[in-house]
A and B are shown apart, each in its own frame.
Chain A
């Protein structure tokens, strides 16, 4: 349908050459705007990390993280999310080749991996709550749930978003607009993986060491 390096509108409408250009530029602006949004998101996570680190010793007599964390599940989450980051990249590659089936296929794989990650995270939370660590147990657990939960919320939003984009890809094919949307969602997904690396390192590994 479309070649890499060319911005071809899948369903040619009454746009002339000029309109192409303009659409194309508009998409580039949106990509940049999204990049800046991710930086603001970085700052949000930085604030949560700062809060977590400052309050990380405040157990208020309750359970500690080292006592309750189950590392196998967390390690599985980590590798699953990492793989999904890779598959979202493969989706972009398929798109650049103009391969709509491949693109949607890799997006589906990414969504499934993301959903598995989320399921594992939720079951981890449920277990923790059963073991007596809720958001109101101590400052440590408040900041733990908020930091990890905010990441999980981002992942959930990413899943809904990817599904919406798949539907649009089905309707409109690969054009300059859907192309930008796929690039943006994949960037978002890579970003979430990076944040998770820091969650994994700072929250889990440094706590159990």
Chain B
């Protein structure tokens, strides 16, 4: 159970271990704080409404997701082949399908 491709996994490995520096965590934290604060200001001051608000707020949430993926979860530092990234993308496609598909199908079947 313990065999593996020793050769190709090892080189990628050291980079993998060393991941994350204080700088990247601090940058990530500050960016997250900013990306949380802006939509809050928008909401609390009623600066946007309707579809525009939905799009902008979701946009900020997605941006923050990307920030955390890069700075906290170190997705960029995965060794090749990037299976984790591939499966993540696949997962996100399905996430989008579930949410958007349900909304689309169920618009025709609304119950008050």
Q: Which residues of A contact B (CB under 8 A)?
A: 4-7, 21-22, 25-26, 28, 32, 35-36, 39, 42-43, 46-47, 49-51, 53-54, 57-58, 71, 75, 78-79, 82-83, 85-86, 89-90, 92-93, 96, 139, 187, 190-191, 193-194, 197-198, 200-202, 205-206, 208-209
Contacts and interface: CB of A to CB of B under 8 A. Distances in A.
A187 B1 CA distance: 25
B95 A194 contact: no
Interface residues of B, number: 56
Interface in B1-50: 1-2, 4, 6, 9, 13-14, 16-18, 20-22, 25, 28-29, 32-33, 36, 39-40, 43-44, 46, 48-49
A96 B98 contact: no
Given A35-B84, A201-B61, A205-B57, A46 B99 contact: yes
Interface in B72-112: 72-73, 83-84, 87-88, 90-92, 94-95, 98-99, 101-103, 106, 110-112
A205 B29 CA distance: 21
A93 B95 contact: no
Contacts of A21: 6
Given A32-B84, A190-B73, A25 B4 contact: yes
Nearest to B6: A21
Interface string B49-60: 100011001101
B61 A197 contact: yes
B29 A86 contact: yes
Contacts of A92: 20
A209 B33 contact: no
Contacts of A57: 110, 112
B87 A35 contact: yes
Contacts of B49: 209
Contacts of B17: 4-7, 96
A85 B68 contact: yes
A58 B112 contact: yes
Contact of B83 (A32, A85, A205): A32
A89 B31 CA distance: 15
A209 B46 contact: yes
B95 A42 contact: yes
B46 to A, nearest CB: 7
